[in-house]
Amino acid sequence: MNVLQKLVSTGAKTLPRNGLMRHSSHFVYQPDAKAPVEGPTQKMNMFQAINQAMDIALEQNESALVFGEDVAFGGVFRCSMGLQKKYGKQRVFNTPLCEQGIAGFAIGVANTGAKAIAEMQFADYIFPAFDQIVNEAAKYRYRSGNLYDCGSLTFRAPCGAVGHGACYHSQSPEAYFAHTPGLKVVVPRGPNKAKGLLLACVKDNDPCIVFEPKTLYRAAVEEVPVAAFESPIGKADILRSGTDITLVGWGTQIHVLQEVANMAKTQLDVSCEVIDLVSILPWDKETICNSVKKTGRVLIAHEAPLTNGFGAELAATIQEECFLHLESPVLRVTGWDTPFPHVFEPFYIPDKHRCLAGIRKLINY
């Protein structure tokens, strides 16, 4: 009897250190310290918070529509579960497996004034819709001389590492869209941010993309306000104050950085300021630069590849705005410039060990 058979027969839930299974989670989830608004709360994971946000949007706006591949039965991540039953097939419905068509339809209904919430089943599959989003949705207001716009258009897309997604279910494509004036791009770190950002995007006057780290759908659990609320687009969150080094990330990576901040304090006696960028486009230059001017050192971490990742934009701006305050070069700890691997994912992601090594490098510079 091999080790897996023994586990099944004994009902064991984890393997010994010399077993065959590897753990997919490279982070320890850090819930928000308090709810974003006052009032009754409910314990939710991230997909439940997203579900509630769409429920609120559908309830508050008779024109609101939710659509995408498999959303009618709840979607592959269950984010739209129960919504078709509550609001009907005319407002929550499946689409063909055609991302370009999903985006084109979303642009059309948004131009009529409807609140369009379109799901791309995986962010990796958003690229067939790239032309529609970048050349149509983002430019509609400008091209029409403000006669028409694609406000009230929101794309949801699960993104990032999940432990077993390989090259077609693990990518983080936020930097592609950050190069496009007319779009807004956000990445939540947990249930409260996911709900607040989604509701803010639904009400925004520009087309928005919400990249949702799929590994957080169930791993992230918080007390979430039951009432509707919005999280500001374009505003970063300082999650931990510090004096020696600024750590910047977004999405799942922010939980890695919070753990790294604890490690740096314990092992190196280094005080880290941890900032969740939250919004990729527009991004909060003031908060980032003020922090770097205070600490003199900055480490930027993201799962996307190094070259032309959005960390490069942060690094360039910090160099321009904070040069005389820097005690060391800006450092990026990111995914590698390779396709996202399957079995080698643990070596690809910017985990706590790589980030802590980066802090040592900056402090010793």
Using an 8 Å Cβ cutoff, are 189 and 163 in contact?
A: no
Residue bearing tokens 């023994």: 6
Look at residue 34 and give its three-state secondary structure. coil
Contacts 24+ apart (CB under 8 A), 164-169: 164/24, 164/342, 164/345, 165/214, 165/340, 165/342, 165/345, 166/340, 166/341, 166/342, 166/345, 167/124, 167/339, 167/340, 167/341, 167/342, 168/122, 168/124, 168/125, 169/122, 169/124
Distance between CA atoms of 271 and 268, rounded to whole angstroms?
9
Partnered with residue 276 across adjacent β-strands are: 237, 249
Please name which of 220, 224, 254, 251 lies closest in space to residue 239, comparing C-alpha atoms. 254
Catalytic residue among 26, 119, 136, 169: 169
Name 348's Cβ contacts closer than 8 Å, sequence gap at least 6.
Answer: 161, 335, 336, 338, 340, 341
**E strand or H helix at 260:** helix 253-268
Q: How far is CA 39 from CA 36, 42, 44, 117, 229, in A?
A: 10, 10, 15, 27, 11
The reply to whether 286 belongs to the active site is no
Give how far Cα 48 sits from Cα of 57, 74, 190, 288, Å. 14, 11, 11, 31
Rg (CA), the chain: 21
The partner residues of 52 in beta bridges, in order of sequence, read none
Determine the straight-line distance between the first and last CA of the chain, rounded to whole angstroms.
53
Report strand pairing: 153-159 vs 208-213: parallel
* Burial (CB count within 10 angstroms: exposed 0-12, middle 13-18, buried 19+), residue 134: middle
Catalytic residue (one of 69, 99, 119, 273)? 99
Active site residue 353: no
Classify residue 58 as exposed, middle or buried by CB count within 10 Å of its CB (0-12, 13-18, 19+): buried
The residues carrying an active-site annotation are 99, 169
